[in-house]
Amino acid sequence: MKTAPERFQAWLNAPEGTRLEFKTASNRYDFEDLVDYCVALANEGGGAIILGVTDRRPRQVVGSAAFAEPGRTEAGLHQRLGHRIPVEEFFHEGKRVLIVHVPARLPGTAWQHKGRFLKRAGDELTVLSGEELRTIFAETGPDFSAEICLAATLADLDPAAVADFRTRWARTAANPRIATWDDRQTLADAELLIEGRLTYAALILFGTRAALGRHLAQAEIVFEYRSSEASGPAADRAEYREGFFLCQDALWQKINLRNDRQSYQDGLFRYDIPTFDETAVREALLNAVAHRDYRLGGSVFVRQYARRLELVSPGGFPPGITTENIVDQQNPRNRRLAEALAKGGLIERSGQGMNLMVERAIRQSKALPSFAGTAAHEVRLTLEGTVRDPAFVRYLERLGEERLATFSTHDFLTLAAIAADAPLTNTLRERLPGLVEAGAIESQGRGRGVRYLLSRSLHATLGKKGTYTRKRGLDHETNKALIEKHLRDNADEGAPLSELCQVLPALSESSVQRLLAELKKEGRVELRGLRRWGRWHPIMPKTLKPTSNASGL
With 0-12 / 13-18 / 19 or more C-beta atoms within 10 angstroms meaning exposed / middle / buried, residue 109 is buried
- Residue 457, Cβ density class (10 Å: 0-12 exposed, 13-18 middle, ≥19 buried): middle
Are the beta carbons of 414 and 424 closer than 8 angstroms? yes
Q: What is the CATH architecture of 467-538?
A: Orthogonal Bundle (1.10)
**Residues, the chain, total?**
553
* Coil, strand or helix at 220: coil
Closest CA to 534 of 544, 523, 526: 526
* Residue 56 pLDDT: 83
pLDDT at 547: 46
Q: Give CA–CA dist 24/289, Å, rounded.
A: 45
Q: Give the separation between CA 295 and CA 279, rounded to whole angstroms.
A: 28
Cβ-Cβ contacts under 8 Å for 506 (sequence gap 6 or more): 448, 449, 451
Same fold, 142-388 and 467-538: no
Angle between helices 159-172 and 244-256 (to 10 degrees): 90
Residue 445: how many CB atoms within 10 A of its CB? 18
Q: Quick one: pLDDT at residue 447?
A: 57
First and final CA of the chain: distance in angstroms? 78
SS3 assignment, position 473? helix
Residue 465, SS3?
helix
Query: Which class is 142-388 in CATH?
Result: alpha beta
What letter does residue 305 receive in the DSSP assignment? -
- With beta carbons less than 8 A apart as the criterion, state whether 23 and 29 touch: yes
Contacts of 364 (CB under 8 A, 6+ apart): 273, 277, 387, 393
CATH number for the domain whose boundaries are 5-136: 3.30.950.30
* Domain segments of the chain as ranges: 5-136, 142-388, 390-463, 467-538
3-state secondary structure of 237: strand
Digit-by-digit pLDDT tens for the chain (553 residues) are 688 888 898 898 887 666 899 999 999 999 999 999 999 999 998 999 999 999 887 899 999 999 988 888 988 898 888 888 999 999 998 899 999 999 988 877 889 888 889 999 888 899 999 888 888 877 766 789 999 999 999 999 999 999 999 999 999 999 999 999 999 999 999 999 999 999 999 999 999 999 999 999 999 999 999 988 887 888 999 999 999 999 999 999 999 999 999 988 766 667 789 999 999 999 999 999 998 999 998 999 999 999 999 999 999 888 778 888 888 777 778 989 999 998 998 875 444 678 889 999 999 999 999 999 999 899 999 999 999 988 888 888 888 888 888 888 889 999 988 888 788 887 888 888 888 877 788 776 665 556 777 766 555 555 554 444 444 544 677 778 888 888 988 888 888 888 888 777 656 677 788 888 889 988 999 998 876 678 999 998 764 444 444 444 3
The pairing of strands 221-225 and 300-304 is parallel
CA distance 522 to 526: 10
Amino acid making up residue 336: R
Q: Find out whether 74 and 86 touch, Cβ atoms under 8 Å.
A: yes
**Whose CA is closest to 423, among 400, 397, 399, 451?**
451
What distance in Å separates the CA atoms of residue 69 and residue 218, rounded to the nearest whole number? 49
Q: Which CATH number fits domain 390-463: 1.10.3470, 1.10.10, 3.30.470, 3.10.520?
A: 1.10.10
Q: Is 69 left (phi over 0), alpha (psi -120 to 50) or beta?
A: beta
Number of H helices, E strands in the chain: 21, 19
Query: Each residue of 498-534: b (16+ CB within 10 Å) or e?
Result: eebbeebeebbeebbebbbeebeeeebbeeeeeeeee
CA 106/CA 46 separation, integer angstroms: 10
- Between CA 11 and CA 22 the distance in angstroms is 10
pLDDT of residue 552: 42
- Distance separating alpha carbons of residues 357 and 276, to the nearest angstrom: 11
**pLDDT at res. 550:** 42
